[in-house]
Amino acid sequence: MGTIAFFAPAAAGHVNPTLGVAAELVRRGHRVTYATTEEFASRVAETGAEVVPFTSTWKELDGTGPPQMHGKEFVRATHLLLAETKAVLAQLRDAERPDLVVHDGPMAWWGRVLARKWGVPSVETWPNLVGNEHWSLHRDYTTFNPLSPRFLLLLARLSALLRREGVGGDLPGFLQGSRAAMRLVMLPRAFQYAGETFGTGYRFVGPALTGRAFQGDWQPPDDLPVVLVSLGTGYNDRPDFYRTVLESAAGRPWRVVLASGQADPAALGPIPPNVEVHRQVPQLAVLRHARVFVTHAGMGGTMEGLHFGVPLVAVPQMAEQRANADRIAELGLGRALPPDRVTAATLWQAIEDVASDARVRDRLDWMRGELEAAGGAQAAADEIEKVPRP
């Protein structure tokens, strides 16, 4: 059946949404290779795909942390992406030529380059909201100056890289992924702003979840209702927020499971007996038992919470997450809280409100139906198999 090569950046929010797709293609008898870093190798191997290793330049980010996705920070992000693209291409350009490339649309520029160099068709995976003339994340949430000298320098350097790689000549088309045979959007059309305006080049397949044995299991230690608190894997160094959660959870009739990310649990102060704190948690396992999910509103976590029908309290940490949080509130799937104005009172009021709101429950049931109808990993694999190959 030929070889299908996957490419994604070294980020959980971009790797995890593709794991179910890779596993489904392997189950159907395809040979799947997946280029990833050591950090994500075990979860990729769990799908049955062959791991193709590369080393990322993003491990330390020069001590500056992940960039915000607006203004000057957005421009910094694009320069970091260009540097990563050069480094990954240097490691992967001599990799085995596949019959089809599946690559992350927003960030894996190297997948786009390699598909063109190899002369093979490509399918893009989009783990976040997509844009067109009717709605745009860049226009409405990640505004920046496209005429800034640093951004124009980025375009010049990217154009030069494409020429060196032998795939230059259409920079706008490259940035837009115009040669992709299909864009697989890992959310249901009903969650997408202006979803009805996206044509046949977009297939909204919803989340493609897997069992994720690599994360382990979790069972509730008591009969208290469970609230999961997690700010994801990128923008989670918020000890002040975690202290607010801990201090306000004491004595409440809830079991709180808190993922502290980069923040050291030992530095957060006293931990009440009804709270457990971990650097990372097996999120899908906890969500199976959760009554409420306090989330940064990253799209991966948002889709996971909706898959299990868990009401969401969104505390976004960057521009893309603000768009997701606004959509959660607009669709009645939970509440959105401004991150700089979260207090113990506002947080717990939101938790208790969404846990008891019958309308939120009705909207969650509706969205679960939309997710099921989208098709998930099976629908994504169907679309990939339709793409003609050389």
Structure confidence by residue, pLDDT tens digits, 338-368: 988 899 999 999 999 999 999 999 999 999 9
User: Within a 13 Å sphere around the CA of 285, how many CA atoms are in the beta-carbon half?
Assistant: 14
What's at 107, amino acid-wise? M
Fold equal for 3-206+375-386 and 214-372: yes
Question: Residue 14: what are its φ and ψ, rounded to 5°?
Answer: -110, -30
Token pair, residue 297, equals: 């509103």
Where do the H-state alpha helices sit in the chain?
Answer: 12-27, 38-45, 71-92, 109-118, 137-140, 149-164, 171-176, 239-249, 283-287, 299-307, 319-330, 344-356, 358-374, 376-386
- Confidence at residue 314, expressed as pLDDT on a 0 to 100 scale: 97
pLDDT of residue 214: 75
Q: What is the pLDDT of residues 229-272, one digit of tens each?
A: 999 877 778 899 999 999 989 999 999 999 998 888 888 989 99
Q: Are 13 and 107 in contact (CB under 8 A)?
A: no
Domain regions of the chain by residue span: 3-206+375-386, 214-372
Range with the largest mean pLDDT of 53-62, 140-149, 321-330:
321-330
Confidence band (pLDDT; 50, 70, 90) for 149?
Answer: confident
* Token pair in block for residue 191: 């969650």
**pTM of this prediction?**
0.93
Mean of the per-residue pLDDT values for the chain?
A: 92
Q: What is the mean pLDDT of residues 110-122?
A: 96
If you classify domain 214-372 with CATH, what class do you get?
alpha beta
Res. 62: pLDDT tops 60: no
Q: What is the mean pLDDT of residues 46-70?
A: 77
Residue 67: predicted pLDDT: 61
Query: pLDDT tier at 215 (50, 70, 90 boundaries)?
Result: confident
Phi, psi of 52 (to 5 degrees): -110, 110
Are 375 and 203 contacting, i.e. CB atoms less than 8 angstroms apart?
Answer: no
The amino acid at 204: F
Pairing of strands 100-104, 122-126: parallel
Q: Which residue type sits at 147?
A: L
Residue 211 confidence (pLDDT)? 77
83-92, 137-146, 154-163, 171-180: range with highest mean pLDDT: 83-92
User: C-alpha 140: how far from its chain's center?
Assistant: 19
Q: What is the pLDDT of residue 30?
A: 97
Q: What is the DSSP string of 313-382?
A: EE---SHHHHHHHHHHHHTTSEEE--GGG--HHHHHHHHHHHHH-HHHHHHHHHHHHHHHHH-HHHHHHH
CA angle at 295 for the pair 294 and 297, rounded to the nearest 5°: 145
pLDDT for the residue numbered 73 = 73
Alpha-carbon distance of 259 to 156, in angstroms, equals 41
| Residue 325 amino acid letter | A
Which tokens is 211 given?
């069992």
Whole-number Å distance between alpha carbons of 213 and 135: 37
pLDDT in tens, 157-208: 999 999 999 998 789 999 889 899 999 999 999 999 999 999 999 999 999 9
Over 80: is that where the pLDDT of 18 sits? yes
Q: State the CB neighbour count (10 A cutoff) for residue 256.
A: 25
Q: Which residues of 75-86 are buried (b: 16+ CB within 10 A; e: fewer)?
A: bbbbbbbbebbb
Per CATH, the number for 3-206+375-386 is: 3.40.50.2000
Candidate from 74-78, 105-109, 292-296, 314-318 with smallest mean pLDDT: 74-78
Q: What is the pLDDT of residues 282-324, one digit of tens each?
A: 999 999 999 999 999 999 999 999 999 999 999 998 889 999 9
**Token pair of 70 as six digits:** 């607006």
Tokens of 253: 């009739």
Residue 1 confidence class, pLDDT cut points 50, 70, 90:
low
pLDDT above 70: percentage of residues in the chain: 96
- Is the pLDDT score of 63 beyond 70? no
Q: Is the pLDDT of residue 142 over 80?
A: no
Q: Does residue 61 surpass a pLDDT of 60?
A: no
Confidence band for 76, pLDDT divided at 50, 70 and 90: confident
- Residue 356 phi, psi dihedral angles, 5° rounding: -110, 0
pLDDT at 199: 92
Residue reference for tokens 């350009």: 93
Give the pLDDT score at 150.
85
Alpha-carbon distance 81 to 69, whole Å? 12
